[in-house]
């Protein structure tokens, strides 16, 4: 855990500092929106991470379900990854929602609109809240299996989030990237955008690793106490 902090924290902070410098001082001011547009450099990377970590959660959950009988040790590690990435997903999606609202108020004149994209991201947020609630409400060994199953349900929602912008008429800006001809950003804005993606990715990975270590320690403590009570039971029986 100390190693993650020693290496990860300076690297993540350094990249984020470069990203901040690029986004605030280097990137040109947007023609129509002005400085408000700079929130884009935080909003979009957060949302990309919010759509990336659910996949980590999904893969870890599938690994857990596949190996829980054959390789319990690996399954426990996978479950710790699943929990860590679910919590980090929730953080990034929350940041994405809040920065989106901060941007929407001056540009659209409203904090929130029930358009397809915003709604889908809100649904994703709600599903991950329910995922963490399920983990809290269940007890014993079944938590991990039930949560892994719910994670597969949650992951089905993520493609709907991405496709929704094309399926429904929407108030959200048309896709900036891969939206066809005429889309894309000024090349001078690209460095700020990429630095921030790299920075938030590093930050997210560091958080996942820290939370993973914490969960592994909790699992260890739980196993040890279970073992101790088992031994105590045998003592009494003898």
Partner 1 sequence: MSYARIVWAHLQKDLRLEWRSKDAINGMLFFSLLVVVLFSFAFDPTMAVSRQIAGGILWVALLFASTTALNQTWTRELRHQVLDAQRMAPSPASALFLAKVLANFLFVTMIQVVLGPLFIIFYNLHALGQGWLMALVLPLGTLALVVNGTFFAALSLRTRNREMLLPLILFPVSIPALLAMVQSTTGILTGEFDPGLWMRMLAGYDIIFLTLCLLLFETILNAE
Answer yes or no: are the C-beta atoms of 206 and 12 closer than 8 Å. yes
d(CA 168, CA 181): 20
Q: Does 149 bind partner 1 (CB under 8 A)?
A: yes
Q: Does 142 bind partner 1 (CB under 8 A)?
A: yes
* Part of the chain binding partner 1 (CB under 8 A), chosen from 74-82, 102-110, 132-140, 205-213: 132-140
Window 176 to 215, contacts with partner 1 (CB under 8 A): none
**Which residue's structure tokens are 């924290």?**
9
3-state secondary structure of 114: coil
3-state secondary structure of 155: helix
Least distance between partner 1 and beta carbon 7 (Å): 37
Nearest to 28 by CA among 164, 184, 189: 189
Q: Does 226 bind partner 1 (CB under 8 A)?
A: no
Element (H, E) at 130: helix 116-137
Q: Does 139 bind partner 1 (CB under 8 A)?
A: yes
* Residue whose CB is less far from partner 1, 32 or 70: 70
Least distance between partner 1 and beta carbon 206 (Å): 28
Nearest to 203 by CA among 107, 70, 92, 82: 92
178 DSSP assignment: S
* Part of the chain binding partner 1 (CB under 8 A), chosen from 3-11, 81-89, 151-159, 191-199: 151-159
* Residue whose CB is less far from partner 1, 126 or 230: 126
Q: Does 157 bind partner 1 (CB under 8 A)?
A: yes
Answer yes or no: are the C-beta atoms of 125 and 141 closer than 8 Å. no
Least distance between partner 1 and beta carbon 143 (Å): 9
32 DSSP assignment: T
Q: Does 129 bind partner 1 (CB under 8 A)?
A: yes
Distances 203 to 32, 77, 89, 208 between C-alpha atoms, Å: 31, 21, 12, 9
* Part of the chain binding partner 1 (CB under 8 A), chosen from 27-35, 94-102, 153-161, 176-184: 153-161
Residues that bind partner 1 (CB under 8 A): 65, 119, 123, 126-127, 129-130, 133-134, 137-142, 145-146, 149-150, 152-154, 156-157, 160, 167
């Amino acid at each position: 855990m100390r190693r993650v902090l020693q290496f990860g924290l300076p690297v993540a902070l350094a990249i984020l500092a470069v990203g901040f410098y690029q986004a605030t001082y280097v990137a040109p001011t947007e023609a129509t929106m002005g400085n408000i547009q700079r929130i884009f450099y935080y909003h979009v990377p957060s949302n990309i991470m919010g759509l990336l970590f659910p996949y980590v959660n999904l893969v870890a959950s599938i690994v857990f379900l596949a190996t829980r009988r054959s390789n319990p040790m690996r399954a426990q590690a996978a479950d710790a990854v699943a929990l860590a990435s679910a919590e980090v997903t929730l953080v990034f999606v929350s940041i994405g929602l809040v920065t989106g609202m901060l941007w929407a108020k001056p540009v659209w004149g409203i904090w929130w609109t029930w358009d397809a994209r915003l709604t889908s991201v809100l649904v994703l947020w709600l599903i991950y809240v329910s995922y963490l609630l399920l983990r809290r409400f269940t007890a014993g060994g079944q938590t991990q299996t039930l949560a892994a199953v719910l994670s597969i349900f949650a992951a089905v929602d993520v493609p709907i989030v991405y496709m929704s912008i094309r399926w429904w008429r929407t108030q959200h800006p048309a896709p900036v990237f891969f939206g066809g001809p005429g889309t894309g950003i000024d090349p001078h804005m690209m460095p700020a955008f990429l630095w921030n993606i790299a920075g938030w990715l590093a930050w997210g990975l560091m958080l996942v690793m820290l939370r993973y270590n914490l969960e592994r320690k909790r699992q260890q403590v739980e196993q040890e106490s279970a073992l101790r009570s088992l031994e105590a039971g045998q003592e009494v029986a003898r």
